């Protein structure tokens, strides 16, 4: 990721040409991860609902005399399938956050490229052309 953010000052034109593809690549990646995360959230809701229905049908099999929302949540959290889905969901959220950071970094890179191109156009890196030393009078005028 870091390598894609670097800008070579000697090849600004290449960096500018590559910028849209990078932003599209990482933007698409973020959208795909968001879609996967939402699907995983739905999968978690479905598994919890199935488990809660199972518990409500036969609460004594789960050691419950009275079914409460808290008891349902606690028992659902003990289910290994639900635990795996939660872990997968956390991993997807992390990947989505990292992808979002990359998209924002690429937007900052675009701004930086715009500024570098402006500086290049103003000959920011050109060397001063001084043929003779300034006299004392010229230096005082410039101060």
In the chain, where does DSSP find H-type helix? 2-5, 12-57, 69-78, 80-121, 136-142
pLDDT of 143 reads 60
Q: What is the pTM of this model?
A: 0.74
Main-chain phi, psi angles of 64, to 5 degrees: -110, 135
Structural domain tally of the chain? 1
What are the tokens at 128? 């001063």
Give a yes or no: residue 88 inside a domain.
Answer: yes
Q: Are 33 and 99 in contact, with CB atoms under 8 Å apart?
A: yes
In 3D space, the residue among 1, 19, 4, 26 whose CA is nearest the CA of residue 116 turns out to be: 19
Give the pLDDT band of residue 23 (cuts 50, 70, 90): very high
Full domain range(s) for residue 68: 10-122
Give a yes or no: residue 81 inside a domain.
Answer: yes
Give a yes or no: residue 21 inside a domain.
Answer: yes
Give a yes or no: residue 26 inside a domain.
Answer: yes
Over the stretch 104-119, which tens digit does the pLDDT of each residue have? 999 999 999 999 988 8
Give a yes or no: residue 129 inside a domain.
Answer: no
């Amino acid at each position: 990721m870091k390598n894609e953010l670097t800008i070579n000052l000697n090849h600004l034109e290449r960096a500018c040409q590559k910028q849209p593809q990078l932003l599209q690549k990482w933007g698409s990646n973020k959208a795909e991860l968001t879609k996967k995360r939402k699907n995983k959230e739905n999968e978690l809701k479905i598994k919890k609902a199935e488990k809660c229905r199972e518990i409500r049908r036969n609460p004594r099999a789960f050691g419950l005399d009275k079914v409460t929302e808290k008891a349902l949540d606690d028992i659902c959290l003990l289910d290994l399938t639900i635990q795996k889905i939660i872990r997968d969901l956390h991993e997807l959220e992390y990947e989505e956050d990292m992808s979002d950071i990359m998209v924002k970094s690429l937007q900052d890179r675009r701004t930086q490229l715009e500024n570098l191109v402006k500086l290049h156009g103003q000959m920011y890196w050109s060397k001063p052309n001084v043929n003779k030393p300034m006299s004392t009078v010229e230096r005082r005028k410039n101060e």
